[in-house]
Structure 1
Amino acid sequence: MTAPMVPLRGYTAVRARGASFLLHRRSAYAALGLLVALAATVVASLCLGESTVAPGEVLKVVFGQPSPHELVVGEFRLPRVVVGLLVGAALGLAGALIQTVARNPLASPDVVGVSWGATATVVGLLAYGVVDSTGQVPYAAVAGGLVAGLLVYLLAWRRGLHAQRFVLIGIGISVALSSLTSVFLTKGDGFQAQAAKVWMTGSLNGAGYDQAGWLAWVLLAAVPVALWAARAQRSISFDDATAVGLGLRLNRIRLGMALLGVVLASCAAGAAGPVDFVALMAPQIAVRLARSAQIPLFCSALTGALVVVLADLLARRLLAPTELPVGVVTGLVGAPYLMWLLIRSRRGGS
């Protein structure tokens, strides 16, 4: 006979088809609020541009009904918004996973070398003419990010993965790869180096369903692993001695979560270039909205999507008709946010 599940404070017991799990109520409310805000931002992004389209006409295009604005909304704006949603969700989830493994709110793919691995690889290949097709850039970015993430993990390994060592080695790898990128830009072909600089800013300009298609498949394949990671978060919240005493395989759990984070961040860089600070900000915004002990993965993905779509809308309209790369806007917001986190950490803030 199975004992009844007693929900903890702030949690609700949910039972479905013989399975039982605990749902954090505030996380559910936060996710609902984020979904509403994201839907409103998506509609605004589809409505606003060089020509303004009424929300009703936008919805007609989205749901496949005839509309005179099919070209503007369906061919130009909608693919860009879809790519922004997927890139933001991938970065938000990647940041949440890496911060969980590192136990540090300052850890993110930007900080621990993954984004710089993708950047250095793409810039080097573009600057020296090895890659001259935009269709090859995503694969180069994914490969570079994976190699950099693997290098950080191997160097941080010492009879297990230690959180502080992981972050410090990641920062060192980032600095080294940043310097290598500068060398590529200086020594490579001038025209190709200029194209690499444009890619480095992180942009959704010209983004289409080609990028959205494979990134959507990656996120879909990541769902089962993300569900496992959400369940495993409580396990790695214990200190190492307690976790080992409970029989938990911490190293395997951390490896799985770190690997998923690296893959998602690399794929996001492959689709839109290195969009800085989204993976850093999104998990911390989500955890403050949810007020949960662990970083809520679903809320982090939604927050990342909201940040990227909103930043892209601002990038298109702030200096219209000039369009800024979305990475410029996220960088302008993310850099002060990083300094705020550093100040809070020095003061012992949460």
Structure 2
Amino acid sequence: MTRTESAAADTASARTATRPAGYAVARIGGASFLVHRRAVAVAGLLTVLLAAAVVLYLCVGDSFVSPVQVIDVLLGRPSPDELVVGTLRLPRLVVGLLAGAAFGVAGALVQTVARNPLASPDVIGVTHGAGAATVAAMSFGLVGHTTLPYVSVAGGLGAGLLVYAFAWRRGLHASRFVLVGIGVSIALGSLTQLFLTKGDYLVAQQAKVWLTGSLNSRGYDQAAPLALVLLVAVPAVLWAAWAQRGASFDDDTAVALGIRLDRMRLGLTLIGVVLASVATGATGPVDFVALLAPQIARRLTRTAQIPLLSSALTGALVVVVADLLARRLFSPVELPVGVLTAAVGAPYLMWLIARTRSRSGGSTS
């Protein structure tokens, strides 16, 4: 063996030795980066499950459509079921997919900043802020329906920044962030009820339906701004995936490593708030998706940080399956999807609180 070959072998051995367990090296062109093997496998599995859920969603309804006909419609081939699948079911499905993905990523980012599995946009007041602003606009006729998603974004941003400002005291403490968020949620919930009682009665009834979180009558008009925001947010989400590791450090470690932790956390919070607010504007407050999806994804991948791609896929899968069950479980009565996600998410939240308390009690005893 020549010296060059020996040196190359030593370099390869050193790289293998320093590579974390469970990771592989992926190369694209001249760039190389570490990839978590289990996270890639989980993302692939979630993609397959989501594809199956999409086909099943488009098949099942008042009239059953065969999977072959569904695939023909999706591929643009002539089909007698074009009206049922392409016009009636597909637009609603697209909104559910985009909103679920947005909620999943938003929840992952908020939980990363808070370093707490109890934190999510619907727990810390973001979706309540979006809801309060939207209900006010609907009840008092301040804006038209086409601009309601932008009102939701403004309300969510205002609530998120308010929570961040009150929780920050020479640093962001995780438990203070969650507690302040819960307090803001309660206040905004009361404000929403006030708007409902003071506005026009018929519009207030429509606002109440919107507050339950529903995909009924949703279409491409709601999907377009949501898809645009998700597309524009791709570079920010890629940065967030990189920044997650630094944001998970405690303040002392971050200072020692030279990380500007406050700016990083603020950036992650803003991205999560915008995504959750736009999704809320499109579907209404579909509660607990942003809480459930990141924790399911993290338990499946077993990674140190919450995986954003798996969180997005899990969020989309949860919303699609929940809406399918909401449509067919009590047919011909159709439940709002937010009712079903809340029925599943509320017990999970209580279990998570009890589990967190038992852990803290065990550490102090």
TM-score class, shorter: over 0.9
Confirm or deny: 8 A CA contact 2:138 2:204 kept in the other structure: yes
**What is the letter of the counterpart of residue 165 of structure 2?**
L
Q: Which moved more, 1:13-22 or 1:281-290?
A: 13-22
Residue 97 (structure 1) aligns with: 109
RMSD (CA atoms): 1.6
Q: CA deviation at 1:69?
A: 0.3
Distance 2:117 2:32 in 1: 31
Distance 2:166 2:177 in 1: 8
- Alignment of 1:249 with 2:248, yes or no, is no
Q: Which moved more, 1:210-219 or 1:311-320?
A: 210-219
Residue 322 (structure 1) aligns with: 333
**What is the letter of the counterpart of residue 196 of structure 1?**
A
Distance 2:131 2:259 in 1: 36
TM-score, length of structure 1 as denominator length:
0.96
Indicate which of 173, 183, 197 corresponds to 1:186.
Answer: 197
Residue 146 (structure 1) aligns with: 157
Q: How does 1:200-349 map to 2 (within 5 A)?
A: 200-348=211-359
Distance 1:159 1:267 in 2: 30
Q: Which sections of structure 2, spanning at least 5 residues, go unmatched? A: 1-6, 361-365
Distance 1:257 1:332 in 2: 29
Indicate which of 110, 115, 118 corresponds to 2:127.
Answer: 115
Match of 1:319, SS state, is coil
Indicate which of 73, 82, 92 corresponds to 1:70.
Answer: 82
- Alignment of 1:34 with 2:46, yes or no, is yes
Q: CA deviation at 1:73?
A: 0.2
Distance 1:136 1:195 in 2: 16
TM-score, length of structure 2 as denominator length:
0.93
Q: CA deviation at 1:208?
A: 0.8
Q: CA deviation at 1:236?
A: 2.1
Q: CA deviation at 1:134?
A: 2.3
Distance 1:293 1:241 in 2: 19
Distance 1:162 1:222 in 2: 27
Distance 1:100 1:175 in 2: 23
Match of 2:213, SS state, is coil
Distance 1:303 1:238 in 2: 26
- 1:143-185: CA deviation from partner (whole Å, max 9, x where unpaired): 1111111111112222232222221111111010011111111
Confirm or deny: 8 A CA contact 2:113 2:248 kept in the other structure: no
Distance 1:222 1:276 in 2: 22
Match of 1:234, SS state, is helix
Residue 18 (structure 1) aligns with: 30
Q: CA deviation at 1:62?
A: 0.4
- 1:298-349: CA deviation from partner (whole Å, max 9, x where unpaired): 0000000000000010011011122111111111111111111111111118
- 1:63-94: CA deviation from partner (whole Å, max 9, x where unpaired): 10000000000001011111100000000000
Q: CA deviation at 1:288?
A: 0.5
Q: CA deviation at 1:130?
A: 2.3
Distance 1:341 1:219 in 2: 29
Distance 1:278 1:191 in 2: 29
Confirm or deny: 8 A CA contact 2:171 2:251 kept in the other structure: no
Distance 2:69 2:332 in 1: 23
Q: CA deviation at 1:217?
A: 1.5
Structure number with greater Rg is 2
Q: Which sections of structure 1, spanning at least 5 residues, go unmatched? A: none
Match of 2:305, SS state, is coil
Match of 1:170, SS state, is helix
Aligned length: 349
Residue 168 (structure 1) aligns with: 179
Distance 1:217 1:184 in 2: 30
Q: CA deviation at 1:237?
A: 2.3
**What is the letter of the counterpart of residue 81 of structure 2?**
H
